Amino acid sequence: MMISRHLLPRLFAIAALLVSGARAAALPAEADLRPQMKAWDLGPRAQGARPTCSVFTFTGGLEFALSKARKKGARLSVDYVNWAANQEREKARDGGFFSDMWKGFERHGVCAEEEMPYGKKFDAKRKPDEKAAASASDAMALGISDHWIKKWNPQTGLSEEEFGSIKETLSAGWPVCGGFRWPNHAAWKDGVLQPCGADEVFDGHSVLLVGYRDDAAQPGGGVFLIRDSGSGEDRAMPYSYAKSFMNDALWIGWGK
């Protein structure tokens, strides 16, 4: 029996949904990486008045990966990550894209927080000293790599496949760095970000996804657990919000 070419896109879409549903059914109902983070003394941190949410988010993912590789906690320098990213772009800035930060790490590594402590204000002329630069190279030899679930695109949210991949990554034990269009006036209820319309968001804000919890009472059927440097707290985000407004998704580690 021949299938009309007009039906093929619909059949492919149905097949994708079936595969996505099967993948979701195979996952546990919840995953939480915070107990491991606590064991490594990697608690939440606050960015203060600086626009460095993406740097804190990326550094959090990098900290987890390096701690896993070294089998002990390693608090890393946010300002070193910021400096390294600025070596890969024409003009220095405070914050930026995960892709620049990964390029910076690949070329310059990362040092411990105490070797280049986070400053209250951004100093474009600040550089790591010789000790920080020397120790930063050690992290580059641990064999970790970048894994993009979704490249940056503020015009779309998550596909079902991307959404499923994020849950699979968290279930496998890796946090996910996420950039989002964010509410102009974020509202929270019992620690959960409340939904809003597409005309009520700006681009944007970054948070680290550190787990998930399926919950039929929440929009979209559950929440992602998020580490938010804007507030310096761990909170939650409904699945429906991530599906609508997640710009990019990256995890740092090894494997596929």
Structure confidence at residue 6 as a pLDDT band (50, 70, 90): low
pLDDT higher than threshold 50 for residue 15: no
Domains of the chain are: 29-253 (3.90.70.10)
Give the model's pLDDT for residue 43.
Answer: 97
Least Cα distance to 157 among 52, 44, 60, 237 occurs for 237
Structure confidence at residue 83 as a pLDDT band (50, 70, 90): very high
Give pTM, 2 decimals: 0.90
Structure confidence at residue 26 as a pLDDT band (50, 70, 90): confident
User: Averaged over 200-204, what is the pLDDT?
Assistant: 95
Structure confidence at residue 13 as a pLDDT band (50, 70, 90): very low
3 state SS for 157-168 = CCCHHHHHHHHH
**Which is more confident, 182 or 137?**
182
Structure confidence at residue 254 as a pLDDT band (50, 70, 90): confident
With DSSP H G I counted as helix, E B as strand and the rest as coil, what are the percentages for the chain, rounded to 5?
40, 25, 40
| pLDDT tens digit sequence for 219-238 | 999 999 999 999 999 999 99
CB 58 within 8 A of CB 81: yes
Q: Return the structure tokens found at 158.
A: 């998550």
